[in-house]
Amino acid sequence: MNISIHSDRLDTHVAASLYVAATQIPGLHLVCPNEADLVINMDSVHSSGMVRGEKTAYYELDDNLHQGKNKTLYDVDLLYIVTKANLPLYPTGTKWLPVAMEPTIHYHWPFGESHDFVFIGQYNNPSYEFRRRVVEGLAKKFDGILTHCQAQDYPKFLSQAKVRLNVNPRIGDNPPLIITRFYESMGIGFTMNDYHPTMDDIATEGKHYVGFSTPEDAVEKMQFYLENESKRNEIGKEGKRFMLREHTWKHRLLSILEDYEKL
């Protein structure tokens, strides 16, 4: 089967991970769009536009921002979004497809975990108020790495701390967008993430990762798990096993290919 993957930026994050996953599936070939049985368009395509093939898919990654408003992009054979709770905002037939991690990229580098926690991303702008409170509260008490980095350095930074911290972005009272960092962090080791019931569809809190509900709760749990190495390692190993078993980009691409076969 021939597929083509299209996005405004094919060299970053999700599109690049999907490319890597495609090379792991026997009999699947990456080709130009005009030679493809299926063209998979990955959000964002706002600059370069939708590319169509014999069959066309569109995967809207930031559905919490778009909220079903990109009507001109939804006239496709296969339409996917990341947040299950947003399905009613999209055309009938839209499928829930969570993001994932790529194990050939997101693995633990052999560095010493010399820091207490690591957080990668933005936290100091108005749209990330809860995230800011969590990160700043932890940084006051613990030794943390707070950084932005290039994609190639991402797993290296996540490997340098005992705890990988993620806080999912939220808009108002909407469910959070469960971003790739949640999966990628668990693929590398012990992870703490703000908890929301929608995450129960993906992983089990307390078994695969540790959730928190407030900045104060995050501080208490960070302290507990830093002091309990065996429990921290147990959850970290179970989370990684679970990601490899259920939540890689190969799993997601195989789901898309199964849907294509049903068209």
Amino acid letter, 87:
L
Beta strands in the chain (DSSP E): 2-6, 29-30, 38-42, 55-60, 78-81, 95-96, 115-120, 144-147, 161-166, 191-194, 210-212
115-246: CATH class: alpha beta
d(CA 113, CA 110): 9
Q: What is the pLDDT of residue 124?
A: 81
Q: What is the pLDDT of residue 128?
A: 87
Name the pTM for this structure: 0.95
Q: What is the pLDDT of residue 45?
A: 95
Residue 219: name the closest of 116, 68, 102, 84 by CA. 116
For the chain, domain boundaries? 2-100+248-261, 115-246
210-212 and 38-42: which strand pairing? Answer: unpaired
Please report, for residues 87, 92, 245, the alpha-carbon distance to residue 80 in angstroms, rounded to integers and kept in the order given: 9, 11, 22
Q: What is the pLDDT of residue 190?
A: 98
The b/e string for 221-242 (b: 16+ C-beta within 10 A; e otherwise) is bbeebbeeeeebeebbebbbeb
Q: What is the pLDDT of residue 70?
A: 96
Domain 2-100+248-261 and domain 115-246, same fold? Reply is: yes
Beta-carbon neighbour count of residue 14 at 10 Å? 21
10-residue averages of pLDDT along the chain (263 residues): 94 86 97 97 94 97 94 97 96 98 95 95 84 96 93 90 94 87 97 96 98 98 98 98 98 98 97
Q: What is the pLDDT of residue 178?
A: 94
2-100+248-261: CATH class: alpha beta
